[in-house]
């Protein structure tokens, strides 16, 4: 019987996608289980049986700093799995405390420090960072032992997040390889590149400050896709499609769930989108991805294999507003590069 490994992931859909190569590698040696947010479950179901996935919505996603009852109850659920190894790809001492509560003899992750801590700014938000450091110190002191048995250190703050999972793999003597597609399910749906050079334009993003104005997508359609006679479709989040301009509305396809989104991305030859789950899903399928980051650093989350296709903005503006300054001509240039028009 294989030893049991538990992976904890409580961020977002794209972050779940980035953990798939590690899971794929770990499955040869371990019986892999995941505890994640409910919204992430469809991602992990692409590679794991549903019964191996526990769901929990952490209290901190609702803005609460602490909930002792929920922490204790979730810790008991994890302990019942009797995992020998538990891993996490984030420098979050709250999750590390859960890892300790699981009873696993080996706990592999990244302690909270300046290099391991994720924020759009390398220094992070001062109050949040030091509050986390205080929690990390106090939790270890009260528990009488280190939260992590294997404390990993990122090579630099600019290291890509998928590389973090390779480091976790190395600690467990696993070779986390990255060839796409990342899971076997994709191999049946991708097929060969079709002659229409079909683009998928995804106009949504979880956060408003990550969204390029929809007029930019219209400009790309009218000044690049239509003149080049390239086939394309548009995807918008549920509830937002009706507000799209007519030219986008006419080419909109419905993606009511993760499976439908997977199918549409699988049909496309290339994708234009924001820094979003769609970017990482497309990269996992081996598609070229033109991703819009504005003046946010792309080093952590540039889509794997499409780092050179990131579109940023050199215009000086407040944090989060750089997305508004992206030039549609630069986007069109990257799209041409993605399909081989430009070198």
Q: Dump pLDDT digits (tens) for 273-293.
A: 999 999 999 999 999 999 999
pTM strictly above 0.75 = yes
Lowest mean pLDDT among 33-37, 81-85, 318-322: 318-322
Domain boundary among 171, 199, 231: 171
Give all strands (DSSP E) within the chain, no chain letters. 4-9, 31-36, 53-55, 85-88, 106-109, 150-151, 199-202, 232-235, 270-274, 289-294, 311-312
Same domain, 290 and 333: yes
CATH code of the domain containing 135: 3.40.50.2000
Return the pLDDT at 123: 45
61 within some domain: yes
The length of the chain in residues reads 343
Same domain, 55 and 143: yes
Which of the four pLDDT bands, split at 50, 70 and 90, describes residue 243? confident
Same domain, 110 and 160: yes
Q: Which residue has the tokens 């408003």?
A: 208
Lowest mean pLDDT among 19-28, 87-96, 181-190, 319-328: 181-190
The average confidence (pLDDT) of the chain is 91
Question: Which residue did the predictor score with more confidence, 122 or 333?
Answer: 333
Domain boundary among 129, 148, 171: 171
Confidence check: pLDDT of 317 > 50 = yes
How many domains does the structure of the chain reveal? Answer: 2
Return the pLDDT at 187: 46
Same domain, 8 and 154: yes
Return the pLDDT at 185: 52
Cα–Cα dist 278/201, whole Å: 10
Domain boundary among 148, 171, 194: 171
Count Cβ atoms below 10 Å from residue 123 Cβ, excluding itself. 10
176 within some domain: no
β pairing state of 270-274 and 311-312 = unpaired
154 within some domain: yes
Question: 24-40 burial string, b = 16+ CB within 10 Å, else e?
Answer: bbbeeebbbbbbbbeeb
Return the pLDDT at 113: 96
Return the pLDDT at 206: 85
Residue numbers of the domain that contains 333: 186-338
pLDDT digits (tens, 9 = 90+) for 189-201: 444 444 457 999 9
Across the range 90-119, mean pLDDT stands at 96
Same domain, 291 and 221: yes
Same domain, 99 and 228: no
Same domain, 191 and 157: no
42 within some domain: yes
Cα–Cα dist 187/211, whole Å: 31
Return the pLDDT at 318: 59
Q: Which residue has the tokens 């289980």?
A: 33
Return the pLDDT at 320: 58
Across the range 164-190, mean pLDDT stands at 84
């Amino acid at each position: 019987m294989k030893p049991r490994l538990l992976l904890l992931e409580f961020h977002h859909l794209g972050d779940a996608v980035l953990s798939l190569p590690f899971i794929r590698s770990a499955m040869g040696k371990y019986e892999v289980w995941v505890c994640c947010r409910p919204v992430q479950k469809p991602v992990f179901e692409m590679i794991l049986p549903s019964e191996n996935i526990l769901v929990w919505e952490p209290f901190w996603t609702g803005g609460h700093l602490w909930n002792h009852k929920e922490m204790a109850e979730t810790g008991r659920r994890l302990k019942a799995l009797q995992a020998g190894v538990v891993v996490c790809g984030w420098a979050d001492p709250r999750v590390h405390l859960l890892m300790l509560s699981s009873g696993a003899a080996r706990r592999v992750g990244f302690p909270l420090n300046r290099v391991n801590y994720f924020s759009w700014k390398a220094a992070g938000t001062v109050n949040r960072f030091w509050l986390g450091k205080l929690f990390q110190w106090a939790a270890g002191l009260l528990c009488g032992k280190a939260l992590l048995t294997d404390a990993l250190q990122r090579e630099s703050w600019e290291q890509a997040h998928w590389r973090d999972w390779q480091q976790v793999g190395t600690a467990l003597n696993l070779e986390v390889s990255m060839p796409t597609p990342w899971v076997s399910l994709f191999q049946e749906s991708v097929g060969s590149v079709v002659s229409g050079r079909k683009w998928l334009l995804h106009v949504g993003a979880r956060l408003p400050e990550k969204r390029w104005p929809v007029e930019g997508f219209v400009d790309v359609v009218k000044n690049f896709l239509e003149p080049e006679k390239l086939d394309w479709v548009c995807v918008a989040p549920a509830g937002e499609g009706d507000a799209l301009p007519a030219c986008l509305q006419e080419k909109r396809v419905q993606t009511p769930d993760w499976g439908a989104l997977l199918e549409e991305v699988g049909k496309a030859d290339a994708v234009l989108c924001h820094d979003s789950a769609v970017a990482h899903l497309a990269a996992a399928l081996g598609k070229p991805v033109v991703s819009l980051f504005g003046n946010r650093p792309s080093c952590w989350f540039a889509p794997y294999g499409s780092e050179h296709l990131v579109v940023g903005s050199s215009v000086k503006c407040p944090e989060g507003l750089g997305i508004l300054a992206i030039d549609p001509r630069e986007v069109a240039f990257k799209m041409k590069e993605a399909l081989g028009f430009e070198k």
